[in-house]
Amino acid sequence: MIPTTHPDDATMARISAGMLLEIGAVHFNAREPFTLASGLPSPTYIDCRKLISYPRIRSTLMDFLTAKVMRDAGFEAFTNIAGGETAGIPFAALVAERMGLPMTYVRKKPKGYGRNARIEGVMGERDRVLLVEDLTTDGGSKLSFVDAIRETGASCGHTAVIFYYGIFPETEKTLGDHGVALHSLCTWHDVLAVARERAAFDTETLAEVESFLSDPRAWQAARG
Whether residue 147 is annotated as binding a ligand: the answer is: no
Q: How far is CA 214 from CA 101, 168, 188, 205, 217, in A?
A: 40, 10, 11, 14, 9
Whether residue 134 is annotated as binding a ligand: the answer is: yes
Whether residue 213 is annotated as binding a ligand: the answer is: no
Q: Is 87 exposed, middle or buried (0-12, 13-18, 19+ CB in 10 A)?
A: buried
Closest CA to 147 of 116, 118, 167: 118
Largest CA distance in the chain: 55
Whether residue 137 is annotated as binding a ligand: the answer is: yes
Virtual torsion, Cα 158, 43, 220, 13, nearest 10 deg? 30
Whether residue 108 is annotated as binding a ligand: the answer is: yes
In single-letter form, the type of residue at position 131 comes to L
Whether residue 133 is annotated as binding a ligand: the answer is: yes
Cβ atoms of residues 132 and 160 within 8 Å: yes
What 3-state class would DSSP assign to 112? Answer: coil
Compute the distance between CA of residue 157 and CA of residue 176 in angstroms, rounded to an integer. Answer: 9
Whether residue 111 is annotated as binding a ligand: the answer is: yes
Q: Annotated binding residues for 5-phospho-alpha-D-ribose 1-diphosphate, as ranges?
A: 107-108, 111, 133-141
Q: Annotated binding site for orotate, which residues?
A: 137
Feature table: binding site: 107-108, 111, 133-141
